[in-house]
Amino acid sequence: MTAHISAEALAAYARGELGVGDPMTWPVEVHLEACADCREQLLPYAPPPLLTMLEDTGTAILARASAGPRPVRSRRVRRFAHRWASWSMMPWALMTVTAIIAAFLLDVAFPLRPSVVLLLAPVAPLAGLTIAWSRHADPSWETIAGTSRAGVDLLLRRTVVVLAVVFPLLAATGWRLGTNPALWLLPCLTFTAATLLLGGLIGVSRAAMLLGGAWVLAVAAPALIAVELPVLVRPESLPGWGAAAAVLTGLALLRAGDHVRLKSWN
Ligand SMILES: [Zn+2]
């Protein structure tokens, strides 16, 4: 289009007299998009409130730009925290610390009864995994699930955070009670790997609840009722736990792609 827009048409457009259905509106807008001269001609016709708003916006943008980039340190810290954990994991961490300490105190008070620390160890990280990778517990799960880093990479980071809370406590309590470290470490790793493997199919939270519930109902509760340490937490079971931990970790890594799917967040 070579001819410019007439002053009358520009004034009518600026006053809002050209409605959406007006046959003039479309050619005027197309021309304005391409023609800087007509855009400049349009400016004096713009209503005062719009001019004030444009001026305020321009001033605000210039002020932001001249203030320079915002300090990134706090943002980096926040982003780092989000990559590794979410704040919703805090109550879990407190609960787990309390549970392990309570188990330790019970073991100290009743040394002849089955060790509550050993019975708790396999399922100690599971509540953390339920919180770390859940669409209910993490308010920003949809945003995270939509990013390219979501999937097994982020899940493993959060698992590391969970284990970093659980391991030192179990190590300290186990050492004080004089138990073989492998007795809590191998079951702990086995159940974590099993949760990650099963979690790819049915969701991490569901897998953690299923496996944790099965352990409590089938092993821990009967042992406490019968006042007898089950064979599963005795040293003769260690080769079995070692093999299970190795196989399940390998399978969980092979099936890592499952966690890209949204089902993993169930
Ligand atoms: Zn023009």
Measured in angstroms, how far is the CA atom of residue 28 from the centroid of ligand 1? 9
Share of the chain above pLDDT 90, in %: 27
Measured in angstroms, how far is the CA atom of residue 31 from the centroid of ligand 1? 6
Measured in angstroms, how far is the CA atom of residue 56 from the centroid of ligand 1? 27
Whether residue 99 has pLDDT greater than 60:
yes
Measured in angstroms, how far is the CA atom of residue 71 from the centroid of ligand 1? 44
Per the prediction, the chain carries an average pLDDT of 84
Measured in angstroms, how far is the CA atom of residue 3 from the centroid of ligand 1? 7
Measured in angstroms, how far is the CA atom of residue 44 from the centroid of ligand 1? 15
Same domain, 92 and 161: yes
Residue 118 has phi, psi (to 5 degrees) of -70, -35
Same domain, 157 and 256: yes
Query: How many distinct structural domains can be found in the chain?
Result: 2
Same domain, 62 and 94: no
Lowest mean per-residue pLDDT among 60-64, 88-92, 160-164, 178-182: 88-92
Three-state SS at 247? helix
User: pLDDT tier at 92 (50, 70, 90 boundaries)?
Assistant: confident
pLDDT of residue 81: 57
CA-closest candidate to residue 132, choices 157, 99, 95: 157
Same domain, 19 and 136: no
Same domain, 124 and 251: yes
Same domain, 84 and 185: yes
Render pLDDT for 4-35 as a digit per residue (tens, 0 to 9).
Answer: 999 988 888 888 888 777 888 888 888 998 89
User: pLDDT tier at 229 (50, 70, 90 boundaries)?
Assistant: confident
Render pLDDT for 128-165 as a digit per residue (tens, 0 to 9).
Answer: 888 777 777 676 666 766 666 666 777 888 888 888 88
Same domain, 145 and 236: yes
Measured in angstroms, how far is the CA atom of residue 60 from the centroid of ligand 1? 29
Rg, Å, the chain Cα set:
31
Range of the domain at 17: 7-66
Measured in angstroms, how far is the CA atom of residue 5 from the centroid of ligand 1? 6
Measured in angstroms, how far is the CA atom of residue 33 from the centroid of ligand 1? 9
Render pLDDT for 176-196 as a digit per residue (tens, 0 to 9).
Answer: 988 888 889 999 999 999 998
Measured in angstroms, how far is the CA atom of residue 57 from the centroid of ligand 1? 25
Whether residue 224 has pLDDT greater than 60:
yes
Same domain, 189 and 140: yes
Residue 229 lies in a domain: yes
Residue 110 lies in a domain: yes
pLDDT of residue 1: 47
Residue 12 lies in a domain: yes
pLDDT of residue 219: 92
Render pLDDT for 104-136 as a digit per residue (tens, 0 to 9).
Answer: 999 999 988 889 999 999 998 888 888 777 777
Same domain, 245 and 121: yes
Measured in angstroms, how far is the CA atom of residue 49 from the centroid of ligand 1? 24
Task: Map tokens 């190795």 to a residue.
Answer: 246
Measured in angstroms, how far is the CA atom of residue 109 from the centroid of ligand 1? 90
**One-character DSSP codes across 93-161:** HHHHHHHHHHHHHHHHH-TTSPPHHHHHGGGTTHHHHHHHT-TTT-TTHHHHHTSTTTTHHHHHHHHHH
Same domain, 145 and 257: yes
Q: Which two tokens stand for residue 107?
A: 């073991």
Q: How far apart are CA 225 and CA 239, in angstroms?
A: 27
pLDDT of residue 101: 92
Whole-model pTM: value is: 0.65
Same domain, 121 and 38: no
Measured in angstroms, how far is the CA atom of residue 6 from the centroid of ligand 1? 9
Residue 212 lies in a domain: yes
Same domain, 201 and 136: yes
Whether residue 261 has pLDDT greater than 60:
yes
Q: How far apart are CA 237 and CA 20, in angstroms?
A: 78
pLDDT of residue 91: 81
CA-closest candidate to residue 264, choices 203, 222, 207, 178: 203
Three-state SS at 20? coil
Whether residue 211 has pLDDT greater than 60:
yes
